[in-house]
Chain A
Amino acid sequence: MTAEKERVPVLKGEGIRKYYQTGGSIGRGKHFVKAVDGVDISICEGEIYGLVGETGCGKSTLGRTLMGLTEATDGKIRILGKDIGGMKKSEITGLRRNIQMVFQDPYTSLDPRQKIGDILMEALEIHKIGTKEERMEAALKIMGTVGLRPEHFYRYPHEFSGGQRQRIGLARALILSPKIIICDEPVSALDVSIQAQIINLLQELREKQNISFLFIAHDMSVVRHISDRIGVMYLGHMMEEAPTDELFARTVHPYSKALLSAVPNPNPHQKKERIVLKGDLPSPLNPPPGCVFHTRCPYATEECSIRRPDMKEIAPGHKVACLKV
């Protein structure tokens, strides 16, 4: 599937940086949390791109920055090939229709005082699409697509279970017929049986409507199942990026190896070697110099603490940021 996916990227980020300022009060210097520090990412049409990493690695910030929920400190974002830097606000809004987002927590991401129908139609109203009747028709149609029943139209979010709410979140994202949906941990708040329902639904949407997904998650087995390509982040940097089968067959970066080896296996007969990393994630306020992973890397040498590795392509589509490769 990967070879034919050499198509136009629907969403592209080049050298994305997002710094948050902290401190800066009297008597203290300014500090920056480098949440995302120079990441390139591109997602092609109809592709599911899995973004993984541990808490605090910047995967959600990257997603929110690409979505435009926070402004990037530096870097270029292209939507459907158009650079949004220097564009007028109205132009960006028009283009943004093509990117939608589904959030992790289905309990806090829906307005508790709006009925499901209103939540869905609001997006169309903002973009001034259709008459009231047409909007209602569109909302009902999209509810059918995600497996909600028409009578749910007049209900409030609290009347739904977690899985159903995530379907509403997905319907809200789909109603503007976007080209790409950014899903930030869309299934991690759900039980396994419900999780499987949502994952199957996402795959179905991709097949039927050719929508691309940026799938941000920390669960490796879910990401492996759903993604065509996977990017592994650590402390604001992309460590490794490869087509899914390639990444699992030939994991190169020491961090990716450790991350994969830590995933528990639901087969009690397969015991595997586990690579246990020393210590905790360093603070993004004060990231280590050189390769950000060198403080925990079992193979680190002196050079790693001085020079920052660039992403190198070692096989078609397989890029690694490591000096030892």
Chain B
Amino acid sequence: MQEKILEVDGLCTQFRTERGLLKAIDGVSFDVYRGEMLGIVGESGCGKSVTSQSILRLYDEKRLVKYSGEIRFEGKNLFDIPMKQMRQIRGEKISMVFQDALSSLNPVFTVGNQIVESLRIHRKLSKKEAEEKAVKMLELVGIPDPRRRFYQYPFELSGGMRQRVMIAVALACSPRLLIADEPTTALDVTIQAQIMDLIVDMNRRMDMGVMLITHDLAVVAETCSRVIVMYLGQIVEEGSVDDIFDRPAHPYTKGLIEAVPKMDGDRSRRLHQIDGTVPLLSQIPSGCRFAPRCPYASERCRKEMPELKTIGATQKVRCHCVTEEQGKEA
């Protein structure tokens, strides 16, 4: 197995609200390996974005949030180090690409400047060196005429170009881990295809781990090697792409895959639907969190929370109905 670059162990993220603490993430553990593309999927409110932002400690810890668990990166627990050290890791060792490039880039600086900033802070390059490198980065992410684009502002670029700039900013210091949070959700399919190709290409060339956070299963199927499925702040299933798409074990994973219309699917058939909606965090059901929407739920599911158990070489699932033998058969 490849070298682990990030270990998330028992992560809990709780938000302080007027009505007390809300557990948005409840005991999430996973590893990210060097050079891999890991997909984290789930619907809105499942905690996939909160997980990624917790890794970088982006929430206001004084007022908003309470973390527990450990996030180990390069031998250190990220929750133990001072904020100053955390800021050195952000952008240099772990970078992030957000969904909305227009609001994530600074509107009053040229795009070139924003890459230069990162290089000057983390790599201590001279202005001239940093500018040279920034132009190279723009070229690397496939922006035509990079010298001219260097002096343009974010609003002058199209959505796809802006996302490329964000990727250039994120990759400028050759991070070990890139977290891409819904990087193509706001883009059209043709542009989405270009951006995903770029991310896959960068992943191979720079040998960095990529955590792709998305609600789009098809994007994950096309690009990732490993997949984590989340529901209501917990991991419900984890496995290789083949595990998840060929033999999904959790009823929620199965439901999600079947709910997406296929390009070669039978059009006369009704789409599979998961009834009900994702409950609010303040109304988390006891027992298995998916039980109220699960067609196979039994009395036990409603009372007892299932553990995440290993059912194959690479597959883990959190469901009472799946035994180890079943996992092997399926």
Contacts and interface: CB of A to CB of B under 8 A. Distances in A.
Nearest to B240: A268
Contact of B262 (A163, A245, A262, A266): A266
Interface residues of B, number: 44
Interface string B254-282: 01110111110101001111110110000
Nearest to B257: A266
Interface in B234-264: 241-242, 245, 255-257, 259-263
Interface residues of A, number: 42
B218 A55 contact: no
A268 B197 contact: no
Interface in A182-215: 191-197, 199-200, 203
Contacts of B44: 191
Contact of B188 (A163, A164, A218, A221): A218
B190 interface: yes
Given A220-B189, A264-B218, A192 B267 contact: no
Contacts of B275: 197
Nearest to B144: A279
B273 A276 contact: no
Give the residue among B158, B222, B242, B275 with the most A Cβ atoms within 10 A.
B222
Interface in A22-68: 54-55
Contacts of B270: 200, 203
Contacts of A197: 273, 275
A272 to B, nearest CB: 9
B193 A224 contact: no
Contacts of A163: 277
Contacts of B241: 268
Interface string B202-225: 000000000000011111011000
Interface string A239-258: 00000110010000000001
A194 B193 CA distance: 25
A277 interface: yes
Given A193-B255, A200-B271, A265 B188 contact: no
B299 to A, nearest CB: 24
A122 B215 CA distance: 36
B34 to A, nearest CB: 22
Chain A binding surface, main DSSP class: helix
B117 interface: no
A235 B73 CA distance: 48
Contacts of B197: 274, 276
A263 interface: yes
B260 A266 contact: yes
A192 B260 contact: yes
A276 to B, nearest CB: 6
Contacts of B274: 193, 196
B161 interface: yes
B2 to A, nearest CB: 20
A264 B194 contact: no
B218 A244 contact: no
A266 B218 contact: yes
A292 interface: no
A54 B221 contact: no
A161 interface: yes
A264 B43 CA distance: 18
A124 B216 CA distance: 39
A268 B224 CA distance: 9
B215 A191 contact: yes
Nearest to A163: B277
Contacts of A277: 190
A267 interface: yes
Contacts of B217: 192, 266
B261 A54 contact: no
Contacts of B255: 193
Contact of A280 (B161, B219, B257, B273): B161
A222 B263 contact: no
A262 B192 contact: yes
Contacts of B242: 268
Given A196-B274, A218-B189, 20 more contacts: A55-B188, A164-B277, A191-B278, A193-B256, A193-B259, A196-B271, A197-B275, A225-B271, A262-B190, A263-B263, A264-B193, A264-B216, A266-B217, A266-B218, A268-B221, A268-B241, A271-B222, A274-B193, A276-B190, A280-B191
21 contacts: A54-B189, A55-B188, A163-B277, A193-B255, A193-B256, A196-B271, A196-B272, A203-B270, A221-B261, A221-B262, A224-B261, A225-B271, A245-B267, A259-B189, A261-B193, A263-B218, A263-B263, A264-B193, A264-B196, A267-B245, A271-B222
Q: Closest 10 interchain pairs by CB?
A: A264-B218, A225-B261, A193-B274, A191-B43, A54-B188, A262-B193, A266-B218, A196-B259, A196-B271, A196-B273
